[in-house]
Chain A
Amino acid sequence: MQLVLSLMLLLVVSSCEDQMETTYTYQTQVPVFLQVNTFREADIIIEPGKPLDDPGKIYIYGDYLFISEPGKGIHILDNTDPSSPRNLNFINIPGTGDLAINQSILYADNYVDLLAFDISDPQNIEMVNREEDVFPNLYSNEETGTIVTYKDTLITSTDPNMAWSSWGRPAFRSDFMAMESAAFSSDAGRGSGGQSYGQGGSMARFTLLGGHLYTVDDYDLRVFNVEEPTDPQYLKNINLGWGIETIFPFKGKLFIGSMTGMHIYDASNPAEPQKMAVYEHITSCDPVVVNDDYAFVTLRSGALCRLGADELHVLDIKDLYNPKLIKSYPMDNPHGLGLSGDYLYLAEGEHGLKSFNVADVLEISNNQIEHLKDYASIDIIPGPKSLIVIGPEGVCQFDYSDPEKLKELSCISVSFR
């Protein structure tokens, strides 16, 4: 009993005002400053194959599959048999985002530089060139050779300025609710502590056309002459506005998807791409694929895509100077897409993978063939042997010899999430 009493006394003495502690956890990008010498002097190491962690982009070259791991490097897989791809090796390239391959020369970015690797023997990869300072927008100070990159970081803060909730807490008392709500609305007014939330994937995006390498980043289209594959030459830079996301080459034209629309460039003189048209749409995220007559553009909503709508737009591009919207179809959350003949494969993000017959572009929604909900997907490549689908959980390949019925051949899962 005495024990109880003393315990009680202790508890009552420590009794005080209700305690409230609010923690704000957010993912943000923390700037990391780096001297260019540090990565230029470091050797690019070819490591034995390792499991996928955060697959970014896929590239097919011959029987090989290249999967980029943003910021870290490139996985090389032997895909001779798509039903059992073999992990060969991993090129450790810090600060990489994208890649392209031209006559057994692999181009990849390494922060501000462009690297060229000879991959004619995947067992014995060699770096053959480094073109310096071609992606200068990563520089925070070019004179001192300091670049800035941003690292996704989870931060927990107790700073009350972080609050931007539009609601207050529930009232924990029933007496003066009116005062309570007044206090909450002033709380809400104080909100928006000026935090910037993660701006993902500001990496360059690459494609090859007519002996030239084209890269897009947030604002620019850059042109490299790669007629001598081992010696890429930086030619010029074309400013495209903002929010540039994807580049798709087709019959001497470059189709560039941005957050605000689709740019068409004529690259018949590959060193001097000429602007043909810009198709503007509402601010959204959007990759593009095309065939002779039509362009298929997906618009996707998302945290980084501003307003966003989830739609598939079909444009008539018979007159490339004047692309016209024919029809738009509502979608779930479309990301990348792949076109193979009359069949369109569409990555619906968390909602899976869809296939459509697009022979009649006015009836696409009525010609949906399959919806594989179990395959969260971001991008699709209709390869020569298989349809390759990349998603947050890994890379899956399908037999699409019968386009009406996709058959899973293999899936490489990421090692952990």
Chain B
Amino acid sequence: MKVIYTIFAATLYLACPSNSWGQALPFTHHSEMGVLSGRDEFGTRTNFTFQTFNGFQLSDQHAFGFVTGLDQYGSLSVVPVAMGWRAVLNPEDTWQLYGGLDLGFGSTVLEPTVVTEWNEHRWQEGGFMGQGSIGLRLKTKRSNFWTLSLAYKRQVYHLTTGNPREPSPDPNRPEDWSYYAKDKITFNNVVYRLGYWF
């Protein structure tokens, strides 16, 4: 995790024009919406996803930046926080082939800790998020792009359920709980997206 934070910090630092050497790197932005498709014990699962990539153009072919957004797995909201890389194979053509790689974590910051009337505590934690994508990019007249992409996304998520034994239990000390169950769920998704890039 530390490594990811370091890279984040470095990216942020470099993205700021006053810090980067030479000429400021051009800003680039890519927003996408689509569906996450996976399979769980009940069959096919289809969920909504939105993500936005903000970074800077290293060259005609390469861009580097932050990725964030929202993945809505039913009632569970996961906010990805990742660093991303985009590479375009043939930037001179109208129809371009591109690929991307995002690495980081999915945060459950939108999910509060819940205590039921039976004094059962439930809290959620995110985990590793990794995504590789491949897509087509269509140049418009105003040199913006429409994109169509296919990706594989892996998201780890933890749900802990506990009934306390102590008056003020520590969530990280199973000794403080008379029941302590931790679910680790790994979502494997194939993702179809439509997007806009400038």
Report the bound CA distance from A16 to B187 in whole Å: 9
B40 near A169 with CB under 8 A, answer no
Residue of B41, B45, B120 near A167 (CB, 8 A) is B120
Bitwise, B87-106 to A at CB < 8 A (1) or not (0) is: 10100000001011100000
Bitwise, B121-155 to A at CB < 8 A (1) or not (0) is: 01000000000111000000000000000001010
Q: Which residues of A contact B122 (CB under 8 A)?
A: 167
Residue of B76, B175, B188 near A154 (CB, 8 A) is B175
Q: Which residues of B contact A1 (CB under 8 A)?
A: 87, 89, 97, 99
Report the bound CA distance from A247 to B95 in whole Å: 87
B47 near A173 with CB under 8 A, answer yes
Q: Which residues of A contact B179 (CB under 8 A)?
A: 24, 26, 164-165
Size of B's binding interface in residues, CB under 8 A: 50
Using a CB-CB cutoff of 8 Å, which residues 273-288 of chain A contact chain B? none
Q: Which residues of A contact B38 (CB under 8 A)?
A: 17-18
Report the bound CA distance from A24 to B160 in whole Å: 10
Q: Which residues of B contact A183 (CB under 8 A)?
A: 42
**Binding site of B, secondary structure by majority: helix, strand, loop or mixed?**
strand
Report the bound CA distance from A197 to B133 in whole Å: 48
Using a CB-CB cutoff of 8 Å, which residues 51-109 of chain B contact chain A? 72-76, 87, 89, 97, 99-101
A26 near B183 with CB under 8 A, answer no
Using a CB-CB cutoff of 8 Å, which residues 1-50 of chain A contact chain B? 1, 4-5, 7-8, 11-12, 14-27
Residue of B47, B87, B182 near A172 (CB, 8 A) is B47
Report the bound CA distance from A351 to B179 in whole Å: 23
Q: How many A-B residue pairs have CB under 8 A?
A: 142
- B10-18, B22-30, B162-170 - interface stretch: B162-170
A154 near B174 with CB under 8 A, answer yes
- Given contacts A5-B134, A27-B174, whether A303 and B116 have CB atoms under 8 Å apart is no
Residue of B178, B186, B190 near A19 (CB, 8 A) is B186
Asked if A416 is an interface residue, CB under 8 A from chain B, the answer is no
- Given contacts A166-B116, A167-B116, A176-B42, whether A20 and B184 have CB atoms under 8 Å apart is yes
Residue of B118, B183, B186, B190 near A22 (CB, 8 A) is B183
Residue of A8, A167, A197 near B161 (CB, 8 A) is A167
A18 near B165 with CB under 8 A, answer no
Report the bound CA distance from A20 to B185 in whole Å: 4
Q: Which residues of B contact A19 (CB under 8 A)?
A: 184-186, 188
22 contacts between A and B (CB under 8 A): A1-B89, A1-B99, A4-B100, A4-B132, A5-B99, A11-B132, A17-B38, A17-B41, A18-B41, A20-B184, A21-B183, A21-B184, A22-B182, A22-B183, A25-B180, A25-B181, A165-B120, A172-B76, A174-B75, A176-B42, A197-B165, A303-B165
Interface positions of A (Cβ within 8 A of B): 1, 4-5, 7-8, 11-12, 14-27, 154, 162-167, 169-177, 179-180, 183, 197, 302-303, 333, 349-351
